[in-house]
Structure 1
Amino acid sequence: MGDGSIERTAAGLTSFRRYTWWTVPGMTVCVLVVFVGAWLLDGDVPLWARAPAAVALAVEMWASVVLLSRRLALLPSTDVPPEAPLGRLIAAVGAGVVLAVFPLALHDYGLWPVAPALVVAIVATYLPPRRRRALIAGAVVLALLPGGVVSLLEGDGELAYAALFPAGLVAFTAWVTLGPLWAWDTARRLDEARRLEAELAVREERLRFAADLHDIQGHHLQVIALKSELAARLVDVDPARAAVELKEIRQLSADALSDTRAVVQGYRRTSLDDEIGNATRVLAAADIDARMTLDPAAVAAGLTDSARHLLGLVMREATTNVLRHSRAGHAEVDYRIADGSARLRVSNDGAEDRPGASDGTGLRTLAERLEAAGGELTWKRDGPLFVVTAALPTRPLQSPNPADGAAR
């Protein structure tokens, strides 16, 4: 994800948060002011009810805005619910009780459930889903009782309205409050997932670059060291041959520099054909008798670039292992099509006895990549004989991008 996309996403998330704030805390305050405030200004409401109700209204608005704003700043988990400020929660509950008792005492069946319904919705936002549903269901059932009981005692004939309207209001308030908060939580989770994806993409690219650079530099430096040692031995006994080796060292150094620049620019890609040809020259320079058996059908096989890249990496890693971890006198490379797979087999007769001498992280990393591409990579040592075998299907496969990483 580019910086521009991240900035646009952040701007969109800020706008959505602003919209959610006005939708939830803002509408909560509006409802309290419009309905409870209008009730307080009604001349029929006695003074003994107005004063405590006005104080309770101010406390309820303050506590509601603080609690809902804090809830917007949190990203709850289904397992660990966010922690609500206990003091403000108690203040909201107490104010809600006051704003319910006075209207109910005056038989205002439509107003008394407004504040309690808002309090139930606010408390529900801080609970995990199961407890949230239980709270709302319980509140809906309990909302049937206060108005219904008062109506029955007064005998005013409004039992249905007094019982059912508060229950419906509690359910509706919870729905319109929790819905926008759920959408906000989802948007925040998606935003965090996008940011994590961007960070992982950057890390994967860094690992790919580091792996390619290590692979290229390690291979070239190993060959340069080998030829330098050979030139040092020949400088007295065969100056002409030593001069040839020094020229090749110079060319290898230039190739290493060119390959390093290509990796930085993202243009270089290993291919099997190039690596087989390179292995022939390098092994011959190391006085290793290398025999290449290439099946014409395998050479002409319609392998994807990804498959050729992976097999090229195997060829390079196997060659480097021969030079670095063995005292081989003979090596064999066999590449052919068998059982619908392109099979590459590289063996040498000089495996050292040191544990793990040929079993490096490069082969293990390549094995994981070939397995992801539908193939396999195996290696084994039998006495001095060490064999690396790679196989990839010849049919096109959905395989990982070969630039995602390289053997290390």
Structure 2
Amino acid sequence: MRPHLSPPADPGHNGGVRDGPIDGGTGLGGFRRYTWWSLTGTVTVLLVLFVADWAVEQDVPLPVRAAGGVALAVLVVSVVILLDHRLPRTPVAARPGPPAVTWLAAGGAAAAVLGAIPLALREQELWPLAPAVMTSIAAMFLPPPHRRTLIAAAVVAAAALGGAVGMVAGDGRWPAATAVPAGMVAFVAWTTLGMLWAWDVADRLDRARLLAAELAVKDERLRFAADLHDIQGHHLQVIALKSELAARLAEAEPARAAAEMREVQRLSIDALRDTRAVVQGYRRASLEDEIANAAKVLAAAGIDTTVDRGDPADARALPEPHRHVLGLVVREATTNVLRHSQARRAQVAYRVRDGRARLRVSNDGVADPSRPGSGTGLRALAERLERAGGTLDWHRDGDRFEVVASLPVGTPAAAAEAGAR
């Protein structure tokens, strides 16, 4: 699926969607490890059992056994390194081409030795295992059309060589010597490349998920820019026309020019008010909007998010300034989850009980206890809630981090408004 001997650098390296270690709370890193260990483990066990099948025979000369052991070690090491190239731990950590080519050549030579020895020992069915493994590993670095061509050529070559040796042996086993090697090459390729295909699909889905998260942010920026353009564009165009008219009338009709300038002043005040309203609406989203936006952004980042809003009447019972303050808490807590954790799960819960509104935002995946809450964001919000008669607490328990905000429902709106400033 990739046309080069080493995986291409991820777009994140040039300002794209990802430039850090694979995972980010999605489990992709674990799937990468599973794929790598499954492929290397399966290949190693098969090769060891295959070599042991003929190496333990007493009539095999010691130098031949030694050559087989060295070839086995080289082939296993080559497979491990090549799979590490094909399944990099970080998308931008693409290995250079020459080492991959070197290990492909070393593995190919070792596979040829491990195929020639059993073929010479009349092991006419098992000899293609090592060449089949190396052919499948090499095919991983080719685009699909070339990959299929290589596998098909290997199947035909194994059938032809096995059948020829079977005919020369004259023991009547040439049909099996033809069919079994071809089937073994096809089976090994199907198994190894199938696991690689699953990894590539997961990797592409993860890239799409990260791109969706970026697009969600950009869509919001475009929405704000479009609203601001609509407001400012109309007012500025009218202001420009009236200013031009006032300049023409300044000498001939001073009174009318003054009237036009007063109109320009009024339009300027309207434009300033409308601009502030747009910015106010952008910055002062309600608690409900912030909770919905947090669920959307966290889900786009691949985090399993549970939202519990309680009774819808609870949110309506809280004055708008209070909802704004708690909305800021949701926004800051969501930012912390995205920046300072590798969360897999997050919860947002809101309740009004015993005369107090309580908001709780929690997540797992906290690796560094010094990061969440260590900045000024939560501390500044804690001061705002304290001025509004509420509290804001946060704590870490193992890999979990929790932010809890509380506000009295009966606090006057003015106090909450002061806390929000």
Shorter-chain TM-score tier: 0.5 to 0.7
Aligned twin of 1:48: 63
Q: Find out whether 1:133 has 2:148 as its counterpart.
A: yes
Distance 1:64 1:251 in 2: 76
Residue 22 of structure 1, CA deviation: 1.8
Q: Residues 265 and 165 (structure 1 numbering): CA distance in 2 closer, same or farther, change over 3 Å?
A: farther
Distance of 1:75 and 1:150 partners within structure 2: 46
Question: What secondary structure sits across from 1:107 in the alignment?
Answer: coil
Q: Which amino acid aligns with 1:181?
A: L
After alignment, is 136-145 or 97-106 more displaced?
136-145
Question: How far apart, in 2, do the equivalents of 1:223 and 1:140 lie?
Answer: 77
Deviations 1:92-121 (A, max 9, x none): 111011101111111223431110111111
User: Structure 1 vs Structure 2: percent identity of aligned residues?
Assistant: 55
1:5-404 aligned within 5 A: 11-37=26-52, 39-73=54-88, 85-224=100-239, 246=262, 252-266=267-281
User: Is the CA contact (8 Å cut-off) linking 2:243 and 2:260 kept in structure 1?
Assistant: no
Deviation at 1:241, TM superposition (A): 11
d(CA) in 1 for partners of 2:271, 2:191: 65
Q: 1:327-386, CA deviations, whole angstroms, 9 ceiling, x for partnerless residues? A: xxxxxxxxxxxxxxxxxxxxxxxxxxxxxxxxxxxxxxxxxxxxxxxxxxxxxxxxxxxx
Q: In structure 2, do the counterparts of structure 1 residues 39 and 10 end up closer, same or farther at CA, with 3 Å as the change threshold?
A: farther
Matched position secondary structure for 2:171: coil
CA distance in 2, matches of 1:136, 1:240: 87
Q: Considering only CA atoms, is the larger Rg found in Structure 1 or Structure 2?
A: 1
Q: Is the 8 A contact 1:125 1:132 kept in 2?
A: yes
Shift of 1:57: 0.5
Separation in 1, partners of 2:32, 2:109: 29
CA contact (8 A) 2:224 2:282 kept: no
Distance 2:52 2:109 in 1: 18
> Which ranges in structure 1 are unaligned for 5 or more consecutive residues?
77-81, 269-408
Supply the AA of the counterpart residue of 2:270.
Answer: D
CA drift of 1:224 comes to 4.8
Measure, in 1, the Cα distance between the counterparts of 2:35 and 2:198. Answer: 9
Helix, strand or coil for the counterpart of 2:124?
A: coil
1:143 counterpart SS class: helix
Q: Give 2:110's aligned amino acid.
A: A
> Which amino acid in structure 2 is aligned with residue 202 of structure 1?
V
Q: Secondary structure at the match of 1:108?
A: coil
After superposition, the Cα gap between the structure-2 partners of 1:157 and 1:257, relative to the gap in structure 1 and judged at 3 Å, is: same
**Aligned to 1:11, what secondary structure does the other structure show?**
coil
d(CA) in 2 for partners of 1:155, 1:257: 97
Structure 1, residues 184-239: CA drift from partner, whole Å, max 9, x if none? 222222322333343344334333323332332243344456667888979xx998
Q: Which amino acid aligns with 2:104?
A: L
Cα distance in 2, alignment partners of residues 29 and 265 from structure 1: 63
| Corresponding residue SS for 1:85 | helix
Other-structure match for 1:340? none
TM score, norm. by length of structure 1: 0.53
Instruction: Report the Cα offset of residue 157 of structure 1.
Output: 3.7
| Counterpart code for 2:160 | L
In 2, Cα distance between equivalents of 1:83 and 1:178: 23
Q: What is the TM-score with the length of structure 2 in the denominator? A: 0.51
CA–CA distance in structure 1, aligned partners of residues 281 and 57 of structure 2: 76
Gaps of 5+ in 2: 1-16, 92-96, 284-421
Distance 1:49 1:175 in 2: 31
Shift of the 30–264 alpha-carbon distance from structure 1 to 2, 3 Å rule, reads: farther
Q: 1:265 to 1:19 in 2, by over 3 A?
A: farther
- Counterparts of 1:50 and 1:125 in 2: how far apart (Å)? 30
2:147 & 2:102 partners in 1: Cα distance? 20
- C-alpha separation between the residues in 2 aligned to 1:33 and 1:92? 15
C-alpha RMSD over aligned residues: 3.9
